[in-house]
Structures are given as C-alpha cells and as structure tokens.
Amino acid sequence: MTTQYDYGRRGPGMFSGLVLALVLGAVVLGMFVHHARQGFPGKLASMITGRPLNVVSAPMVIEKVQRLSRLESVVYSLDTVVEGDKSSPVLPDALAGDRILMIVHGQTIAGVDMSQMKPEDVQITEGAGDRSIKLTLPPSQVFLTTIDNAHTRVYARDTGLFVAADPNLESQTRAKAQQQLQTAALSDGILDAASKNARSTVTAMLEGLGFEHVEVK
C-alpha cells in the first residue's frame, strides 16, 4: 500500500504577494528612518542606520548658539607699574607736586556675544548622505577690564612740601591703569584670539550636532 502526501504547490500569486510584502516593508522602514528624528524612534532609527538622525535646522542652530550668550573665550592678565601725578603750573613738584607709583594687577576678558547671531548667519546644505553648515559669528569684543584690588598696591608716594596728598589721585591712577591694561590687551591681539577660540568652541558644538562638514568664520 502506498501512501501519498499532497504538500500543495505555491503558485505565482503567493510569490507576488511575498515580493509585494517585502517592498512595502522596505518603504515603511524607509519612511520610518526618514521621519524618526527624536526620542525612542530616533534612537531606533539611529541603530538601524548606524548614524545619528536628529536633523538640526537653522533656527535650532541659532537657538543653541545663542544659549552660549556672551561667550568669554579669552582672559588676558597683566602686572604692570602705573604712575599718576599732579603738578602745579607755578611751583616745582618738590614743593607742590603729588606723585604715586602703583603696582597693578588686572584682567581683560574678551569674547563673542552670541545673542547677536541672525538667521542669515547660518547656511545648511543637504548633500549626498551628509549635511554641511556654514556659520558666521559676530565680531569679537572686549567684555570687561578690571583691576584686582587684592593684588594691586601703592609702591611709592611723593608729595610736595606745601600740599597735602590728593585723595583722588589713587583712584584716578587705577582708572588710568585699567585703560592701559585694555590697550595692552588689544595690542597683543586679544580680539583675534577671542574669535579663534570662539570658532573652535562653536565648531565642536556643531560637529556634536551631527554635521559632517562645518565652517565657522
């Protein structure tokens, strides 16, 4: 006695259905990867593609950069000796003059005010499989110049025989020292250094946001 088993035959309709299912699955997966940008879907899409998929728009870049606010990128410190004096138009300094020498320590802080960024300062380009960004920073500027009173002292004071020490001379000399400190910092290129450091900081931030090509100027 012979027993026959009928497994059936898979016709062309079943094969076509399988192909259609695969195509639809690929389309759905592609749409998911394309639209999944944040949260768990974004993480899942990143795992599927092997690359971060959070797309950062120009307004988002502006917002993130502006959060840096006044980006202090350089601190310039200086110790110097500053002279202040008051003289009489008639009598010599030995009789009516007032002279002070101060050892001054101070700092000048410079950077870039990111709150001045504008939408037209950001250009994002979509390429073949990558994204590029060009960003123009506001000009660098001096934020603050201060005298460190704890490390500033009067080195010498000479007052004429006929006059008392001027109580305002010391504060005037400190103001003069503050101006000299800022002038020295500018002469030494503090603004160029501030721009360079700010560009490095912003470049690193943009690369962290997933841009393959970053140009900051």
Percent of the chain beyond pLDDT 70?
A: 73
What pLDDT is recorded for position 54? 52
Q: What is the pLDDT of residues 8-42, one digit of tens each?
A: 444 555 545 554 555 455 444 444 444 444 444 44
Domain ranges of the chain: 1-53, 55-216
Cα separation, 64 vs 171, whole angstroms = 42
Rounded Cα–Cα distance for residues 164 and 155 (Å): 18
CA nearest 74: which of 159, 195, 169?
A: 195
- Pick the closest to residue 106 from 169, 167, 185 (CA basis): 185
- What pLDDT was estimated at residue 13? 53
pLDDT(110) > 60: yes
Q: Look at residue 119 in the predicted model and tell me its pLDDT.
A: 87
What is the reported pLDDT for 190?
96
> In this structure, are residues 84 and 97 in contact, taking their beta carbons and an 8 Å threshold?
no
- When the pLDDT of each residue in the chain is averaged and rounded to a whole number, the result is 78
Q: Which residue has the higher pLDDT, 23 or 104?
A: 104
Query: If you write DSSP's letter for every residue of 23-91 in order, what string do you get?
Result: HHHHHHHHHHHHH--SHHHHHHHHHHHTS---PPPHHHHHHHHHTT-EEEEEEEEEEEEEEEEE--SSS
What are the residues whose beta carbons fall under 8 Å from the beta carbon of 144, sequence distance 6 or more? 107, 108, 109
Q: How confident is the model at residue 55 (pLDDT cuts 50, 70, 90)?
A: low
Could you give the strand order of the β-sheet that contains 213-216, starting from the edge strand earlier in sequence? 122-126, 131-135, 213-216
Per-residue pLDDT of 117-164, as tens digits, reads 888 998 988 876 678 899 999 999 999 999 998 999 999 999 888 888
User: For position 203, what pLDDT does the model report?
Assistant: 92
Query: Which range scores top for mean pLDDT: 57-61, 123-127, 180-184?
Result: 180-184
